[in-house]
Amino acid sequence: MPQKKNLAFGPVLRNLRLERNWTQSELGEKLDVTPQHVSMMESSRKFPSLEMLFKVADALGVSLTSIVAAMEARLK
């Protein structure tokens, strides 16, 4: 069973992607992964590596700190 923080990442990723009106395919292209990989991260079936977290933050134009803060806020 994934840890609580792992479960918070998926919805945060999805919200950030949707704020930019991007499809999973569009985000996948920016991350050099398949849309299925993005889907698995958004549904909390796959937690990204540290390297992928940095790629996600860069692609979305946000800091890693802001992603972590959004995850923490979801857990409160």
Residue 37, burial from CB neighbour count under 10 angstroms (0-12, 13-18, 19+): middle
Give 8-61 pLDDT, tens digit per residue: 999 999 999 999 999 999 999 999 999 999 999 999 899 999 999 999 999 999
Q: Cα separation of 6 and 25, whole Å?
A: 22
pLDDT at 7: 73
The CATH number of residue 50's host domain is 1.10.260.40
Measure Cα distances from 1 to 19, 51, 66 in Å.
29, 23, 25
The residue with greater pLDDT, 3 or 68, is 68
Range of the domain at 58: 4-75
Number of domains in the chain: 1
